[in-house]
Amino acid sequence: MQTETGDIRSKAFDVFPAVSFPDEFMRRVESDKMWTLFCPKQVEDVYGRRLQDSFGDEFVEFYEELEQCPRMTLKQVVSAKDLFKTYLKSTVETGMPYAFYRDTVNSLNPNKHAGNIYCSNLCTEIAQNQSENTFIIEEEKDGVISTKIQSGDTVICNLASINVGKVNTPEDIERVVPIAMRTLDNVINLNAYPLQEAKISAEKYRAV
């Protein structure tokens, strides 16, 4: 989508893609084994669950089961190393796709009880739980239509930067970081949120 070679009509230069890498893929790259690409719609239709909803050992177990399943007809088996080389070639030429290591992030997630982290922002410093809103009811009264939803988890970005050229001694770090953290926490309370779902998630997780 991003390279400057090939048919220009097949490009999408305003899209900024990222690739979510499970650990199992990297293990197969290192051992020069094959990797199977599945149609996610067929996985959900056949099994009633989604591959991307699991990580770690659970992901590997489900993935290997899919590889052996004769009902999975929409799939392609490729060399993991060749696929990774294609990815690397694109990153050298375009700087993209970005990389997200999903097993590492989910294993370190302090909010595992709230579900999985599926992706991050492109710079990968924001990794939070995500879930969709749930529709409850739509009502009409006197021409006014009201929609009720149960809020899911909407990721927000609340950042501060510290100049490590100026703040780099243990004493400076001990003095500055607590102030930055307190300030960021205050932002959560004082912020004007464009979406109510963002406000709910920010106040729920207080992610900074």
Indicate if 157 belongs to the active site: no
Both tokens of 65, joined, read 């089961």
Indicate if 64 belongs to the active site: no
**CB contact burial 167-192 (16+ within 10 A = b; e otherwise):** eeeeeeeeeeeeeeeeeeeeebeeee
**Candidate list 123, 140, 163, 174, residue with the active-site label:** 123
**Candidate list 125, 140, 171, 174, residue with the active-site label:** 125
DSSP state of 14: T
Indicate if 121 belongs to the active site: yes
Distances (CA, A) of 41 to 17, 52, 56, 80: 20, 11, 21, 22
Q: Which of 59, 63, 55 is nearest to 33 (CA)?
A: 63
Helix ranges (DSSP H) in 39-101? 40-47, 57-68, 80-94
H/E segment holding residue 135 = strand 134-141
Distances (CA, A) of 79 to 12, 37, 99, 150, 178: 26, 11, 19, 43, 48
Residues present in the chain in total: 208
**Candidate list 109, 111, 116, 121, residue with the active-site label:** 121
Which of the residues are catalytic? 121, 123, 125
